[in-house]
Amino acid sequence: MADSEKPGGELSGGSSSIPHSPKDGGCGPPGCECGPPDLEERTEDWEESEQLGWAESSAQEMEVYGATVRRIEWMIGVVGAVGAVAVAWPLGWMLAVGVVFGTLLGWINFRWLAASVNAIGERIVKVKSQERGAVVVVRGVGRIFLIAISAYVIFTWSVRGLVGFLAGLATPVIALMCEAVYEFIASSRRLS
């Protein structure tokens, strides 16, 4: 375009005003002769875009997520076994049995929590999700109910067993701390 813009925003030379400002619906600075890009060009750009490679990275992320969950589950068992052995001789077998039972319920609690989080995520992301809302709620409430009933039954038999049970329930927290240390070390090695 040969016309130049005056300071007031009008075009000199009497030609019709074409909006060039993006806020006016235009495509760029004055003098450009571009129009809206074709839809085909946009889809080609999207297909080649690195930002939209989420489908491939999502599969990789799910693989990493699965490995992390398996490490945490394994670590829950290790921490529970070490804890039960550590308390068996000095504090008694009842406390050790409580630790083992608490570890077992802590592991189940972690599994159900992970399954509930995955189910909620699937219901949010997928339009036709296979997960049922009632199952998610029952799994979420059921794990707390199972722990409460178990704690009550153990308390009626032995207070020492209840202390061990509560200590065993803490094993997922310890396993998560161990996983955090592992991830920190792994990321430090990757950066070096």
For the segment 132-162, what is each residue's pLDDT rounded down to a tens digit? 677 777 878 888 898 999 999 999 988 899 9
Core vs surface per residue 59-77: b (16+ CB within 10 A) or e: eeeeeeeeeeeeebeebbe
Q: pLDDT value at position 23?
A: 53
Q: What is the pLDDT of residue 46?
A: 45
- For residues 176 and 53, give the distance between their C-alpha atoms in angstroms, rounded to a whole number: 30
As given in the structure block, the two tokens for residue 135 are: 């199952």
Following DSSP, what letter does each residue of 129-168 receive, concatenated?
A: -S--HHHHHHHHHHHHHHHHHHHHHHHHH-HHHHHHHHHH
Helix axes 159-169, 54-91, angle to 10 degrees: 150
Q: What is the pLDDT of residue 26?
A: 55
Per-residue confidence in pLDDT tens, the chain, 192 aa:
445 545 544 444 444 555 555 555 555 555 555 555 544 544 444 444 455 444 455 778 888 888 999 999 999 999 999 999 999 988 889 999 999 999 999 999 999 888 888 888 777 777 666 666 777 778 788 888 989 999 999 999 888 999 999 999 999 999 999 999 999 999 998 887
What is the domain partition of the chain in residue ranges?
19-52, 58-191
Q: Read off φ and ψ for residue 11, nearest 5 degrees.
A: -90, 135
Q: Give residue-wise pLDDT tens across range 49-72.
A: 455 444 455 778 888 888 999 999
**For tokens 């202390």, what's the residue?**
163
Calculate the alpha carbon distances from 130 to 76, 127, 142 in Å.
30, 9, 20
C-alpha–C-alpha distance, residues 114 and 110, integer Å: 6
